[in-house]
């Protein structure tokens, strides 16, 4: 594997060549998996090396808050969902979206059919599992738009179960529905032996409440640092090359991800399937943020009734400067 070998150029030119590359650290939103395949592909295939970058990829996890890692100087750029990034910005952490590799959302609610849920109007009186740590924002906005309270299961509200990063609440009937991603947790339910015909899913995209996921964010003031924007331009260009390669070669991309999974927790079947689903979400994006998608996300987050995710339209929360230079 490339990560264990010196490049031919470095061997030929000595340590000086390696030292000439610019160091850059990427903090992922979650653990090593095909959700982040584009970055691992770019690393493995030498796309970052071609841009004179020495990239370190830091996996995330349940005990890691990516925005805080960047705020503390532990990374230069992070992968984050826009609701969490905008909420952090309003609270004083000036994150800026510099690129948007994901065009579509993979978020959905997966419910037991026998719970009596046939449409979102049937949610009232049910228990719904929701991820927190910033992942709850799209859900809360959706419930607000439906006029459903989230403080208890009754005729006008739902009970919100703070869901861990597993599917146990559904399997153990602790919840009528749980949060799942099209590329991950939904398939964990199926792999547990549940017949798809026993389930009903509600994709945020289909419900018109999808918000942007897996964008690239940096701290605003760093964009004015000498050489930082240029480094980000090279990083975005190489990363999008990695993403498009992964879309075209999903099985090979999944195998690259597996090679970089130091935990050994991932399986070939799961990662190949995940990459196939991820390719559907990155399709249609060349890396630049679509302002219409941004405005849709902001509108959804502002429509949170008495407790919106953000209280005012953000200013300066995204820029095309990096992608304009990187992808021209």
Last residue of a domain, one of 160, 176, 203: 203
Same domain, 193 and 240: no
**Which of 1-15, 75-89, 294-308 has the largest mean confidence?**
75-89
Query: Is the pLDDT confidence value at 2 over 60?
Result: no
Same domain for 38 and 74? yes
pLDDT value, residue 156: 87
d(CA 80, CA 150): 25
Scan for tokens 């989230």, then name that residue: 150
From 151, 184, 203, give the residue that closes a domain: 203
22: CATH: 3.40.190.10
In angstroms, the CA 17 to CA 284 distance is: 36
pLDDT at 134: 66
In this structure, the answer to whether residues 236 and 99 fall within a common structural domain is yes
Is the pLDDT reported for residue 306 higher than 70?
Answer: no
Q: Are 86 and 117 within one domain? A: no
| CA distance linking residue 315 with residue 90, whole number of Å | 10
Q: Are residues 247 and 313 in the same domain?
A: yes
Which residue's structure tokens are 């510099």?
98
Q: What is the pLDDT of residue 304?
A: 62
> Domain span at residue 283?
2-104+212-326
The pLDDT value given to residue 4: 37
Beta pairing partners, 26: 57, 77
pLDDT tens for 203-235 read 999 998 899 999 999 999 999 999 999 999 999
**236, 216 Cβ separation under 8 angstroms:** yes
- What is the pLDDT confidence band of residue 3, given thresholds at 50, 70 and 90? very low
């Amino acid at each position: 594997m490339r990560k264990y070998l010196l490049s031919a150029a470095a061997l030929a030119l000595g340590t000086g060549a390696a030292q000439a590359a610019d160091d850059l650290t990427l903090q992922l939103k979650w653990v090593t998996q095909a959700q982040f395949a584009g970055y691992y592909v770019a690393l493995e295939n030498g796309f970052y090396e071609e841009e004179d970058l020495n990239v370190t990829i830091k996996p995330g996890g349940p005990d890691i808050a990516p925005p805080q890692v960047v705020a503390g100087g532990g990374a230069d750029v992070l992968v984050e969902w826009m609701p969490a990034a905008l909420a952090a910005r309003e609270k004083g952490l000036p994150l800026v979206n510099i690129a948007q590799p994901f065009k579509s959302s993979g978020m959905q609610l997966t419910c037991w059919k026998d719970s009596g849920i046939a449409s979102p109007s049937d949610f009232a009186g049910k228990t719904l599992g929701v991820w927190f740590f910033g992942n709850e924002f799209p859900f809360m906005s959706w419930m607000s738009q439906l006029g459903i309270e989230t403080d208890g299961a009754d005729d006008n509200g739902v009970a919100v179960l703070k869901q861990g990063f597993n599917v146990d609440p559904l399997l153990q009937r602790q919840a009528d529905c749980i949060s799942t991603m099209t590329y991950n947790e939904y398939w964990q339910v199926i792999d547990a032996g549940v017949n798809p015909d026993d389930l009903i899913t509600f994709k945020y995209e289909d419900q018109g409440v999808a918000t942007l996921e897996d964008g690239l964010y940096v701290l605003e003031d760093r964009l004015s640092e000498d050489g930082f924007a240029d480094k980000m331009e090279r990083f975005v260009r190489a990363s999008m090359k990695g993403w498009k390669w992964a879309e075209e070669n999903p099985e090979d991309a999944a195998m690259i991800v597996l090679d970089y999974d130091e935990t050994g927790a991932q399986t070939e079947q799961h990662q190949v399937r995940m990459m196939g689903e991820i390719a559907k979400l990155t399709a249609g994006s060349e890396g630049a943020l679509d302002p219409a998608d941004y405005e849709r996300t902001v509108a959804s987050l502002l429509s949170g009734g008495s407790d919106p995710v953000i209280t005012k339209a953000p200013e300066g929360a995204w820029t095309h400067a990096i992608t304009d230079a990187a992808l021209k």
